Amino acid sequence: MSELIKIRNYVNGKLVDPVMGKYLENINPASGEVYALIPDSDGKDVDAAVKYAKEAFHSWSKTSIEYRHDILSKISDLIRDNLKLLAKAESKDNGKPLWLAKEVDIPRAAANFKFFANAITLFASQAHETDQTAINYTIRRPLGVVSCISPWNLPLYLFTWKIAPALAAGNTVVAKPSELTPMTAFLLSTICMEAGLPAGVLNIVHGYGHSAGQAMVSHDDVKAVSFTGGTETGQKIATLAAPKFKKLSLELGGKNPNIIFADCDYDDMLATTIQSSFSNQGQICLCGSRIFVERPIYEKFKKDFVEAVRKLKVGHPDQPDTRIGALVSASHLDKVKSYLELAKEEGGKILFGGKEVIVEGFENGYYLEPAIIEGLAFDCRTNQEEIFGPVVSIMPFDTEKEVLEYANSVRYGLSCSIWTQNLKRATRISSEIEAGIVWVNTWMLRDLRTPFGGMKDSGIGREGGLDALNFFTEAKNVCIKY
- Radius of gyration of the chain, Cα coordinates, nearest whole angstrom: 23
Residue 143: C-alpha distances to residues 57, 166, 168 (Å)? 9, 9, 12
Q: Which is nearer to ligand TXE, 27 or 78 (CB)?
A: 27
Cβ proximity to ligand TXE: between 95 and 170 the closer is 95
The residue of the chain with the least Cβ separation from ligand TXE equals: 209
Q: What per-residue string of b and e applies to 261-291 under the rule 16 or more CB within 10 Å gives b?
A: bbebeeeebbebbbebbbbbbbbbbbbbbbb
Q: Where does this chain bind ligand TXE (CB under 6 A)? A: 149-153, 176, 178-179, 208-210, 213-214, 217, 228-230, 233, 236-237, 251-253, 285, 335, 386, 388
Nearest by Cα to 386 from 352, 336, 442, 438: 336
Q: What's the DSSP call for residue 228? A: E
Nearer to ligand TXE, 273 or 281 (CB): 281
Any catalytic annotation for residue 251?
Answer: yes
Nearer to ligand TXE, 78 or 222 (CB): 222
Q: Which is nearer to ligand TXE, 168 or 252 (CB)?
A: 252
Least distance CB 229 / ligand TXE (angstroms): 3
CA distances from 100 to 28, 256, 324 (A): 17, 22, 10
Cβ at position 479, least distance to ligand TXE in Å: 39
- Closest to 244 measured CA to CA, from 221, 227, 228, 212: 221
Catalytic residue among 192, 264, 285, 287: 285
User: In angstroms, what is the minimal distance from the CB of 188 to ligand TXE?
Assistant: 15
Q: Closest approach of Cβ 63 to ligand TXE, in Å?
A: 29
The minimum distance between CB 158 and ligand TXE, in angstroms, equals: 7
Closest CA to 76 of 183, 174, 179, 163: 163
Determine whether 380 is an active site residue: no
Of the candidates 251, 294, 386, 463, the residue annotated as catalytic is 251
Query: Quick one: CA dihedral 29, 30, 31, 33, positive or negative?
Result: negative
Compute the distance between CA of residue 364 and CA of residue 367 in angstroms, rounded to an integer. Answer: 9
- Listing DSSP states for 83-104 in one string gives HHHHHHHHHHHH---HHHIIII
Catalytic site residues?
Answer: 251, 285
